């Protein structure tokens, strides 16, 4: 690798570091699988959840749990038995013909995060 290529790699790693740090700062409990899902949805808004399964290499059940955590209501319960609030970064839009299938789109909060992360990458 040439010195110029090495400098480009270092620069890219610094930008990636700041992106990861921004996500960690705002969402300290976000898991890497959730981050992979979120970044996929931000890159391809309106994708089908089933198409994401192979892309992020998660089983359907794990994908569903992580999508719920990224949505407005988590799969986790609080002390009173109510569903905890999710991160509200993506929305699930059910298919009219198959309620098990749904499209994933970023919320306004998710789009705002995408803009901040994109700015860090420049």
Cβ-count burial 36-55 (b if 16+ within 10 Å, e if not): bbbebbbeebeeebeebeee
- The CATH number of domain 3-121 is 1.10.10.10: yes
pLDDT digits (tens, 9 = 90+) for 96-118: 888 888 999 999 999 999 999 99
* Domain chopping of the chain, boundaries: 3-121
Beta-strand runs (E) in the chain: 47-48, 73-77, 83-85, 90-94, 102-106
Does the pLDDT at position 84 exceed 80?
A: no
Query: Measuring CA to CA, which residue among 89, 101, 13 is closest to residue 64?
Result: 101
What's the pLDDT at 75?
A: 67
What's the pLDDT at 77?
A: 67
Distance CA 20, CA 15 (A): 9
Does the pLDDT at position 65 exceed 80?
A: yes
Confidence of residue 79 (pLDDT cuts 50, 70, 90): confident
What's the pLDDT at 99?
A: 80
């Amino acid at each position: 690798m040439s010195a110029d290529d090495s400098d480009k790699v270092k620069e890219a790693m610094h930008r990636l570091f700041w992106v990861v740090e921004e996500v960690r700062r705002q969402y300290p409990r976000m898991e890497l699988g959730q981050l992979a899902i979120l970044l996929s949805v931000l890159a391809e808004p309106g994708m089908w959840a089933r198409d994401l399964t192979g892309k992020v290499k998660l089983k359907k059940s794990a994908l569903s749990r992580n999508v719920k955590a990224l949505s407005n209501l988590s799969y986790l319960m609080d002390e009173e038995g109510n569903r905890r609030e999710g991160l509200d970064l993506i929305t699930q839009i059910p298919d009219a013909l198959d309620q098990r299938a749904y499209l994933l789109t970023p919320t306004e909060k998710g789009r705002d995060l995408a803009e901040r992360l994109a700015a860090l990458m420049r």
